[in-house]
C-alpha cells in the first residue's frame, strides 16, 4: 500500500469512528489550528520568505491574519450552521417536521497552490473541519519550504489521523487522485483542473475548482485616474503579480493611456521605491521555469515602464506594456506575474464586447464614478466576482462566495459557503402514522375528484403564522376525516 493510499485509508477509518461529527471536536481542532499561527508564526514566516521572498508583515497581511479571522467566524457560527434548517411547507406537509440537515461528506482531498500557500490550502481545510469531514492535505511541492513546515507542524496541532498531510509532486498527487475521496478541492490552473475533473469522474466525486484566468480591469476616462491606478498597482504587483484575482490587463480609451501609465509608474515608485529589487515588500517569481514563461510574453509588446529582470534571482520588475494588441503573446494566457498590459478600446461598449468574447474571468474590475457604468458591467458581463473601484478586497469578505464560473472554476467557499460546499444538505421529512385520510387522494384508484384535492393542497400557497397554522391543522384534520369517510362509503 502506497503512502498516499495509507493516508486516505487512515482518514476514512478515523472518519468512520464518528468523532469528527461532534461539534466540540470540530471546535477544538479549529482552536488548535488557530494556535498554530500564533505559536509557530516565525517558522511559517521564514518558510514563505524562502519560497516567495515575501516580507514577514506581507505574509501575515495576505495569509495568516485572514485565516485567523476565518477560524474565529467559524467557531462563533458553527452551532448555528450545523443545526437543522427549517423550510417552508405545503398544505400536504403542514403537520410534518420538514428540515434540512447538514451532514459531513466524508474524506475531502485538498490540493493546495503555491502562490498563497497557507491561505489557499488552510482555508478549505477550515471548511472541511467545520463541516465534520476528514481531510487529506496536499500542499504544493513548488513551495518547498512551506510544504515541509505544513507537513511537520499540522500533525502537532490537529488530529493527524483525521487530517493527514501528504507531501510530494505530480506522481504523489496522481496517486491521491486514484483513491476514492468524497470531495476534491483544488486550487490552481484550468489545465490541471480538467485533469482533476477527469480523475474525479471515475468515482463520481464532486469537485470544487478554484482556478483563474485573465481578470480584466476597465478604467473609465471620467474617474479619478490617480486613485484608480494606485489601487490597480497594488492589486497587480502584490506578490509579484502571482495572484489568481490580480487585474490581468487594463482596458481604457487611448486618450487616457499615457496618464494611466504615468500614474501606475508613480504608484510603483511610492510602493516599491526607485529600485523594487531591493524593496523588502516586493517579491520574486516562484522559480526559473515561471520566470522564463513570463519573460517570453514580452516578445511582441512595447514596454512603457519596468522590464528589468534577473534570472538568477527570479526577479522581474513591475512592468507596464502599452498599445497591446489582442493577439499579443501576453494576451493568450493568464500572466501570473508582474506584467500589466494596456489595451486601448473606444469606450465601454467595446470593453464589454472584448470581455464577453473571452473566457469568463475569476474577477472583473471597473473603475468609474458613474453608477450607470457599474450597472452595465454587472448586467452585461459574467465573472466569478466583480469589484467596482478597488481590487482583491472581495477575497477578505467572508460573507461573499469566492469562486469562479466557466473556465475560471466551479463551486465557491469562504465563511458559511465553505461549510455548505463541503456538506451534504440532507432533506428530511418526519411524518406520523396519523391522519391517513389525507393520503387517500394519492392512493389508487386515481380519479378527477382526487386530482382536484391534490391540486388544492399542492398549489395553494398560504403564508400563515403559528396561530394560523394551528387553526389550519385542526381544519385539515376534520377535512381528512370527512374525505376518508367518503372514500369508505
Active site residue 210: yes
3-state secondary structure at position 57: helix
Compute the half-sphere exposure of residue 415: CA atoms within 13 Å on the CB side of its CA: 13
Whole-angstrom distance, CA of residue 477 vs CA of residue 454: 16
Set of cell numbers at residue 211: 482556478
Q: How far apart are CA 412 and CA 391, in angstroms?
A: 19
Looking up cell 497581511, which residue turns up?
61
- From 210, 253, 263, 334, active-site residue: 210
What's the rounded Cα separation, in Å, for the pair 397 and 275? 33
* Dist CA 145 CA 52 (whole Å): 10
DSSP per-residue string spanning 233-256: HHHHHGGGG--TTS--EEEE-HHH
Omega of the bond leading into 208 within 30 degrees of 0 (cis) = no
Give dist(CA 350, CA 345) in Å, integer.
Answer: 6
* Active-site residue, from 10, 143, 217, 244: 244
Q: Which residues pair with 93 in a beta bridge?
A: none
* Radius of gyration of the chain from its Cα atoms, rounded to whole angstroms: 27
Three-state DSSP class for 287?
coil
Residue 316, beta-bridge partner list: 309
Q: Which three cell numbers stand for residue 173?
A: 498527487
Selection from 320, 331, 329 nearest residue 354 by Cα:
331
363 three-state secondary structure: strand
> How do 423-430 and 97-104 pair as beta strands?
antiparallel
Residues with catalytic function:
210, 244
Amino acid at each position: 500500500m502506497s503512502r498516499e493510499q495509507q493516508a486516505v485509508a487512515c482518514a476514512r477509518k478515523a472518519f468512520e469512528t464518528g468523532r469528527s461529527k461532534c461539534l466540540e471536536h470540530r471546535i477544538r481542532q479549529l482552536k488548535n489550528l488557530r494556535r498554530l499561527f500564533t505559536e509557530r508564526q516565525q517558522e511559517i514566516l521564514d518558510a514563505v520568505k524562502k519560497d516567495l521572498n515575501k516580507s514577514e508583515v506581507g505574509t501575515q497581511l495576505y495569509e495568516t491574519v485572514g485565516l485567523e479571522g476565518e477560524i474565529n467566524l467559524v467557531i462563533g457560527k458553527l452551532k448555528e450552521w450545523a443545526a437543522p434548517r427549517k423550510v417552508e411547507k405545503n398544505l400536504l406537509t403542514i403537520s410534518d417536521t420538514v428540515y434540512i440537515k447538514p451532514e459531513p461528506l466524508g474524506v475531502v482531498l485538498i490540493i493546495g497552490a503555491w502562490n498563497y500557500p497557507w491561505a489557499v490550502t488552510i482555508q478549505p481545510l477550515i471548511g472541511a473541519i467545520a463541516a465534520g469531514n476528514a481531510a487529506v492535505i496536499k500542499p504544493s511541492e513548488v513551495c518547498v519550504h512551506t510544504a515541509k513546515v505544513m507537513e511537520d507542524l499540522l500533525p502537532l496541532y490537529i488530529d493527524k489521523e483525521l487530517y493527514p498531510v501528504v507531501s510530494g509532486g505530480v506522481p504523489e498527487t496522481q496517486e491521491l487522485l486514484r483513491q476514492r475521496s468524497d470531495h476534491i478541492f483544488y486550487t490552481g490552473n484550468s489545465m490541471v483542473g480538467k485533469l482533476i475533473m477527469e480523475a474525479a469522474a471515475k468515482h463520481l466525486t464532486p469537485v470544487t475548482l478554484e482556478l483563474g484566468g485573465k481578470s480584466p480591469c476597465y478604467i473609465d476616462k471620467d474617474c479619478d485616474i490617480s486613485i484608480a491606478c494606485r489601487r490597480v498597482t497594488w492589486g497587480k504587483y502584490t506578490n509579484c503579480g502571482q495572484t489568481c484575482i490580480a487585474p490581468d490587463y487594463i482596458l481604457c480609451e487611448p486618450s487616457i493611456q499615457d496618464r494611466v501609465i504615468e500614474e501606475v509608474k508613480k504608484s510603483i515608485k511610492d510602493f516599491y521605491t526607485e529600485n523594487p529589487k531591493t524593496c523588502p515588500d516586493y517579491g520574486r517569481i516562484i522559480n526559473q521555469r515561471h520566470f522564463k514563461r513570463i519573460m517570453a510574453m514580452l516578445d511582441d509588446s512595447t514596454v512603457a515602464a519596468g522590464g528589468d529582470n534577473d534570472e538568477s534571482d527570479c526577479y522581474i520588475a513591475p512592468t507596464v506594456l502599452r498599445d497591446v494588441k489582442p493577439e499579443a503573446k501576453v494576451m493568450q494566457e493568464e500572466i501570473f506575474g508582474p506584467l500589466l498590459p494596456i489595451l486601448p478600446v473606444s469606450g465601454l461598449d467595446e470593453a464589454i464586447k472584448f470581455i464577453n468574447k473571452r473566457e469568463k474571468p475569476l474577477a472583473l474590475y471597473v473603475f468609474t464614478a458613474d453608477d450607470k457604468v457599474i450597472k452595465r458591467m454587472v448586467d452585461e458581463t459574467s465573472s466569478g466576482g466583480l469589484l467596482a473601484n478597488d481590487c482583491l478586497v472581495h477575497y477578505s469578505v467572508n460573507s461573499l462566495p469566492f469562486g469562479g464560473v466557466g473556465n475560471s472554476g466551479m463551486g465557491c467557499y469562504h465563511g458559511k459557503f465553505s461549510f455548505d460546499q463541503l456538506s451534504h444538505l440532507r432533506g428530511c421529512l418526519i411524518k406520523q402514522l396519523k391522519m391517513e385520510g389525507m393520503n387517500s387522494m394519492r392512493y389508487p384508484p386515481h380519479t378527477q375528484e382526487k386530482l382536484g384535492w391534490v391540486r388544492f393542497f399542492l398549489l395553494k400557497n398560504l403564508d400563515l403564522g403559528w396561530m394560523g397554522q394551528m387553526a389550519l391543522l385542526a381544519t385539515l384534520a376534520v377535512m381528512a376525516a370527512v374525505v376518508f369517510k367518503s372514500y369508505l362509503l
